[in-house]
Amino acid sequence: MPISNIDNAQISFWELIKDMRIRIPLLQRDYAQGREDRQAALVRKLFLDALYEALTQAHKAPLRLDFVYGQVENTTLLPLDGQQRLTTLFLLHWYAAAKARVLSIASERLRKFSYQTRRSSRDFCLGLVGYQPILTDIANGKALQTNIEDAAWFQPTWRRDPTVKAMLVMLAAIHDKFQDIPDLFACLTTEPAPVGFHFLNLTDVGLTDDLYLKMNARGKPLTSFEKWKAAFDQLLARHENVHQDFARKMDNEWLDFFWRQYQDAPERLDQAFEDFIDFCTRMLGARQQAGKKKTGEAVVDSFDLYRQVYADEANVRLLEQMLDQLTSIPEMKAADYFGQLFTTQREQAKVQLFGNGKVHLMAELKNADYKVQLLLYALLQYGVRVRPLTAIDDALRDYVRVIRNYLEGRRRRRWWETSFVSDLDADNLSATLADLDALVPVATKNIYDHLATATQPQIDSAWYRLEQEKAQLLRGRPELKEWVHQLEDLTVFRGQLTGFKLAANPTDTHGLVALADKLPELAQAAVAIWSDASNSNLTVRALIAEDDYSFGIGNDRWFFGSASDLYPMLTDDSQKKGFLPQFLQRFADTPGSDASARLQLMIDRWLESATPQTEGWRYYFVRYPAMTSGYSSMLYHWPEDRDYELRCLSKSSLKGFHINPYVRTVIRLLNDSARCSEEGSRDHDREWSPLWLYAVPTMDGEAVDLPFYCEQQGWRLDLDRKESLRLAPELIARFSLTKIEDLQQYWLSDLAGSDRIKTAIQFIDQLYRQPLLMG
């Protein structure tokens, strides 16, 4: 094509250098697509992938590389924009000619490409054009790079030239990518060419160099976002039906939305925009895999995923619709919108979120956990498939509430663990998204109607059956909706009302329907108890008075929850039927000025008839607060049938610090650090945890330390280490002590009707009053 006709025409690299030289001018930066940093590697991979696809898939439309701008002086093109693409195309054409062994012919044109930035760059291009390697003998790209560097014409000093170094890296990548295309040179040079671009002659347009520099900010490298955006735009260009409108929105409506969010911190705008699209792409990618077997092929980088997802035009349209939901939000910041919809504390007309304390679902989206990401996905799907997110109404609030319940219900607790952990992760993301898609109330526009009228379970889980029961209840008894929501929003339940079961439920439901008439009263009781953290120890003791609610986690360990969080205990499917409603009903029936007073009265009433002999360990756990306090969780090492040889654990095993709770209770009630202390009586990595008594006086005016053990038979005082000492006969008689045969040890046994905590305190007091005898 004559030079006069190429302006703004579609042209291939091979056609361009037929009648024109290309010289990269001094003002241009070094060749960058071959750099070894992560961003350049991504751009390199994406560009070569696009070229490979264009050259190997004949049915595809030609790959268009947008505009190349430059000035033409005589027959020489000085590119001002397009240097990177032109250089890569030069290297690809050299490789293709070398592979076809036609360099002797092709070199005439290829010599027309040169760099003016450095002499070493120019000389390398000339040397490369004259070099014919035997590519069939070179196994991989690294070997090709070594082959060129070892050639006689290659100067060692060229390794310090960034452009040469980058060209070598690109040649290695080209060899790895294109060595399997047998007719590569013919594909590149036969018209119509599968790869081309538009050329714009800036000399004819009349732009001066100064104006061009200002327009394109030359001398200042593109930001990572600009590179990412260009690469993304190129990826979508194959979809002609949507590309133009999508590109327009990227630069207008969607950009305006992110500008509103970050106008006070504009440096964060680009990353937030990219993070949101990346989030949508990951969700669409996982959604695309739902129901399919995993291929086992790893995604090399994010653009591998982008290429897989947006090969399907339907996904491009879904991404567009998800982005459109952002612009449907009223003229406010997203933080304000989410703040009107969600809360971290119970508020009227808002849905409470648990966990990280954030309600702004788009804040730091890149690092957000799966609960946040999936809630945002579900919200966007509602906007796409039901109604725009413009208005926050009851229908939207009810929908996100059910989604929150679902995400909180996606949990597991292995038998040896004390708490639930979320099972939302990458491995089950596709199945989770399928569940969320099934929950979108497309037909009914209302989530409760959607659940209540479903004839077949859309999700096979106990959680779904419970939500269906809630929905059916609320359709028939809408006045109960606020009470149900209040229960769900308590941190102790977090949307999981599995504990609301009757002891003898005639149906296979979870019990909410059967409890309908009592729900307001039970909800009021639950809110009164668990809205005030100061009730925690009282609540634990009142629960134990109701029944043993603990569960075992193996190796003689039993868990009662933690004073600040009984969520694992009260929402576990293994909890006894009827326990929770029965407890709440007893609270509701107990008078008192506030929750603390009512809980204390429940405890006192139970203790009126309870004795150590009738209730065993439960008596002590209920009567003495110290039995259930001290460590962050109430986890006990509890040998079978040995209710007095417990260890309250600071960790999950005896290797952590532990203490016998009866010992700890005595120490706290004595409240005398000169006689004993918790620190001195706790142990680790051993089975025992005696109460160490400090400085017990003797008749000769000395003092000794003695261990005092709480065991199944009673308290055991050990004098073995002090064989010359004896207890005073009056002390033995008063407490009916029995000496262990052949040992300097004594049993302080439980007597009928006695309380071993009180007995131990009385005995210790007298032990310090009646000195040990000598001999």
Crossing angle for the helix pair 83-100 and 162-178, to the nearest 10 degrees: 50
Residue 58 to residue 55: CA distance in whole angstroms:
7
SS3 content of the chain, % helix, strand, coil (to 5): 50, 10, 35
Residue 182 to residue 110: CA distance in whole angstroms:
21
Judge contact between 159 and 149, C-beta under 8 A: yes
pLDDT at 688 over 80: no
Cβ atoms within 10 Å of 773's Cβ, excluding its own: 15
Which DSSP category does 683 fall into? B
Most trustworthy range by pLDDT among 283-297, 547-561, 728-742: 728-742
Residue 216's contacts (CB-CB under 8 Å, 6 or more residues apart) are 80, 81
Percent of the chain clearing pLDDT 90 (strictly above) = 59
Judge contact between 543 and 583, C-beta under 8 A: yes
Average pLDDT over residues 378-401: 95
Q: What is the pLDDT of residues 354-377, one digit of tens each?
A: 987 789 999 989 899 999 999 999
The tokens of 208 are what?
């001066």
The tokens of 354 are what?
């648990």
**pLDDT score recorded for residue 222:** 55
CA-based R_g, the chain, Å: 39
Cβ atoms within 10 Å of 58's Cβ, excluding its own: 8
Residue 83 to residue 65: CA distance in whole angstroms:
12
Average pLDDT over residues 564-583: 85
Average pLDDT over residues 163-183: 94
First vs last C-alpha separation in the chain: 121
**pLDDT score recorded for residue 223:** 67
**pLDDT score recorded for residue 458:** 77
Closest CA to 110 of 118, 120, 96: 96
Q: What is the DSSP string of 344-411?
A: SS--TTSEE--SS----TTTTGGG--HHHHHHHHHHHHHHHHT--TTS--HHHHHHHHHHHHHHHH-E
Domain ranges in the chain?
A: 3-221, 534-578+590-666, 668-774
Percent of the chain clearing pLDDT 70 (strictly above) = 91
Total residues belonging to the chain: 775
Cα torsion through 267, 273, 275, 278, rounded to 10: -150
Taking CB atoms within 8 Å and a gap of at least 24, the contacts of 570-574 are 570/492, 570/493, 570/499, 571/420, 571/492, 571/493, 571/494, 571/496, 571/497, 571/498, 571/499, 572/413, 572/498, 573/462, 573/498
Q: What is the pLDDT of residues 258-297, one digit of tens each?
A: 998 988 888 889 999 999 999 999 999 999 885 565 544 4
Q: Give residue for tokens 């305190």.
A: 761
Average pLDDT over residues 22-30: 80
pLDDT confidence bin for 3, thresholds 50/70/90: very low
- Which pairing describes strands 691-697 and 703-711: parallel, antiparallel, or unpaired? antiparallel
Helical H runs in 589-693?
595-609, 612-615, 617-623, 661-670, 678-681
Q: What is the pLDDT of residues 220-238, one digit of tens each?
A: 455 678 777 877 887 888 8
Residue 441: asked if its preceding bond is cis (omega within 30°), the reply is no
Triad 625, 631, 637: Cα angle to 5°: 90
Residue 150's contacts (CB-CB under 8 Å, 6 or more residues apart) are none
Cβ atoms within 10 Å of 463's Cβ, excluding its own: 18
Q: What is the DSSP string of 232-256?
A: HHHHHTT-HHHHHHHHHHHTTHHHH
**pLDDT score recorded for residue 211:** 37
Judge contact between 659 and 647, C-beta under 8 A: yes
Bridge-partner residues for 635, per DSSP?
559
Average pLDDT over residues 743-753: 89
pLDDT at 255 over 70: yes
The tokens of 307 are what?
């290429």
Mean confidence (pLDDT) of the chain: 87
The tokens of 585 are what?
């009903």
- Which pairing describes strands 76-81 and 21-24: parallel, antiparallel, or unpaired? parallel
Helix H, strand E, coil C: the string for 551-615 is EECCCCEEECCECCECHHHHCCCCCCCCHHHHHHHHHHCCCCCCHHHHHHHHHHHHHHHCCHHHH
Q: What is the pLDDT of residues 89-110, one digit of tens each?
A: 999 999 999 999 999 999 999 9
Of the listed ranges 21-30, 99-108, 205-214, 487-496, the one predicted with least confidence = 205-214
Crossing angle for the helix pair 162-178 and 38-56, to the nearest 10 degrees: 40
Burial of residue 338 (number of CB atoms within 10 Å: 0-12, 13-18, 19+)? buried
Query: What global pTM score does this model have?
Result: 0.74
